[in-house]
Each structure stands twice: as C-alpha cells, then as structure tokens.
Structure 1
Amino acid sequence: MKVNEFARQLGMVSSKVRYYDRMGLIQGERQNNNYRNFTPQDALNIYHAQMLRSFDMSIQESLSAKNEELEAIDQWVGAHVTELEEQIRWQEIKLLRLKEMQAYFEMITQTGDQIMPYCRDNSYNVWNFGSSVVMTPGVLRAVEILAENMPFSYVAIKIGLQSILEDRRPLEVSTGLGILERNQKKLGLALPEEIQQKKGGDILQYMLEVPDPFQLTRSDLNPLLAECRQRNIELKEDLIGRIYLSYMKNGMFVHGIGVSAEL
C-alpha cells in the first residue's frame, strides 16, 4: 500500500503519515516497488499518538509512553489534569475581567460627563508616577506584581485632596496600578505593605475624557464638586479612580477616566 492510500484510510494527509514514519511510529516494512506493508497496528499507533498529541504530549513522549507502565502514564495524565485546571481557572478569571471591561465601556459611552451612584469594591493601589510619589523597594515590587498581572490589574489615578481644596494650587495628580480585592484573592497575590488598601462602599462616580490626566484642572472636576456641594458631601480624602481605557475621539487621543467621591 502506498503512503497516500494509507493516509486516506486513516483520514489524514500523507505528509503527516510520513512525519509519523520518520518519528518511528510506523513499523510497516518497505517493499521494492515503493509500497509499504502497513498494518492495523501502525494505524493504532498513529491514532494513539494523535490522541495523546491532543493533550499536548509530544510525539517523542507518546513513543516513550508505549514502553511505560500504567502508573507512569497515570502520573503524566494527573499532571496534565492539574495544569489544564489551572489554565481553565485563569481563562475564567480573564472572562470575568473582560465582562468588567464591557461594563466600564458601557458606563463611558452611556453616562459620559454624568455623575452616578456606584458601589465600589475593595481594592489595592500603588502610585508610581506623580510629584508626590516615593519609589521605595516595596512600591517597586508592588508595581512589578501588578504590571505582571494585567489585565486583572488596572491603571489607577489619584487627585490629592489639598490640591482640590486650595483654589490657587494646581491639582496634584498621581497614577499607578491597582487591583480589585476579589481579583487579588482569585490570583492569590501576596502584595507588599506599601500598597494602599481602599475600602469599598457607596460613591459618586464621574466619568470624563481628557487628553492628559496630569493636566487635569479644577474645571474638569467641577461637575463632581458641584454635585458634592449639592448633596452636602464634604470631601475628606483624595479622589481615587481608574483610567478605564484610552482611545481616539474627534481626532484626539483621550483617556476615559472615572473619579469618585465617598457618599
């Protein structure tokens, strides 16, 4: 039987059969007329290798597996079960994060320049850009951890309280990275002490779009500040928020930002 005929019976292309032949999976003897004495055992060997290959076992590993006892195969399967379960866990977390991002996009597109009540989750933030930032080893380590764990972490923004209260003073803006406590727990991240924990709760969230977060002015925050005055809300701490996404708008690159005040 020629290789292409054997391949057709197997349901695969002849180049793959030749590859398996080179790897030693096929034992059929060569004939003088370019025919091979393929056997049903050759077909079984190939199908077995295909099955193991679908679980990421290499062809060489599948060849070795033919000489392994059941216990060794069971150990290999067990290790791959654990590995696949971990991959599934990460994919589930990624899916939840993508759904979070979808919700944020909806907020920006449907509630731009609006202020709305929102329930914020517990989170952790670290600041690595801004005039008040102090880069200690702990801060550097926190930044490294959160940068490695995007997209589960996010870009955070902080506007200093005193700079908001003093009319003649430019706003003091810092940016960094943050992560929701629930995502931190899912990932099992051990965060340095220097990272700041922010308790969740009811807030007023204001969505705005600016080309440069470090050039924020008091007028950019006026809608939120006016709403706080109307509700008799006294600002007692820095405004914390997120830079949800960056995109082009009317030919200008802008950052979609949500900043919030405690209710």
Structure 2
Amino acid sequence: MRIGELAARAATTKDTIRFYERIGLVTGRRLANGYRDFPPETVTWLYYVRTAQTLGFSLAEIARHGEELRDATDSAEALSALLEEKIHVVDARIAELSALRADLEARVGTGCPLRAAGQAG
C-alpha cells in the first residue's frame, strides 16, 4: 500500500511514516515509479508503535526491541518481560522524582533555596 493510504489507515501522517522509515521502524520498498509501497501489516505495527509510546517506550527502545515487539503477538512472555523492564525503569524514575521533590520542599522558605541544604551562607 502507498504511503498516503498507510497514513490514513494508521491515523498518522506521511511525514511520521517517512521519519519512522528513516530510523528503521518501518520498511517500504520503492516501486518503479518511485512511490513507497508498504505491506499491509505495517498498519498494525504502527498501532503497536503508538501504544508502546503511550506506555513510555521511546522510539529508540521500540526500534531496539522491534523484533521482540513484532513477535509479541505470538509470545506474550517476551512482551511481559519488556513491560516488567519498563516498570523497573518507571519505579526508579519515581524514586528519583520523590527525592527531588523532598529536596525542593526542604529548600522552600530558606531564604536562598539554591544554596545546598545545611550550607551556611
């Protein structure tokens, strides 16, 4: 299918598909007339990409784990492992943000909130 049809069916833009092609997330072949031609399963893959992004996966992670994600329809175990990995990353980020919040909270009302806590001035 040509890029315009793919964009319409996947509810995205042709520019997004071109970008994904540049970074290796999708692959289309060139027809003799220069048009891109994408296999029908690319529509489903683009929905997976969007869902993965919504779940916090970066495009780099999606590209790195592309085969695992594509095979996830056949292997729930592989997908579960990737999701567990992402949960650990989210938990670590939550801990970092909690520590940052506590630090910010400790500096509120100190007169010079940019000075390190406990530093005399």
Q: Please give the range of the TM-score, normalised by the shorter of the 2 chains.
A: 0.5 to 0.7
In 2, Cα distance between the equivalents of 1:152 and 1:13?
46
Stretches of structure 1 that go unaligned for 5 or more consecutive residues are: 95-148, 157-174, 178-190, 196-263
- Tell me what 1:14 maps to: 14
Which residue, 130, 141, 155 being the options, matches 2:109?
A: 155
Q: Which residue of 2 aligns with 1:62?
A: 62
1:1-263 alignment, distance < 5 Å: 1-68=1-68, 70=78, 72-83=81-92, 85-86=94-95, 149-156=103-110
Structure 1: how far apart are the matches of 2:26 and 2:112?
A: 58
- Per-residue CA deviations over 1:82-113 (Å, capped at 9, x if unaligned) read 146447857xx69xxxxxxxxxxxxxxxxxxx
Report the structure, 1 or 2, having the larger strand content: 1
Counterparts in 2 of 1:87 and 1:44: CA distance versus 1, 3 Å: farther
Structure 2 regions of 5+ residues with no counterpart?
69-76
The number of residues matched between the two structures is: 108
Over the aligned positions, Cα root-mean-square deviation in angstroms equals 3.5
* Cα gap change, 1:34 to 1:62, in 2 (>3 Å): same
Percent identity for Structure 1 against Structure 2: 21
TM-score using structure 1 length: 0.33
Off by >3 Å, runs of 4+ in structure 1: 83-90
Distance, in Å, in 2 between the alignment partners of 1:52 and 1:33 is 34
1:154 is matched by which residue type in structure 2? Answer: V
Aligned residue for 2:108, secondary structure, equals strand
Larger radius of gyration: 1
CA gap of 1:29–1:78, structure 2 versus 1, over 3 A, is same
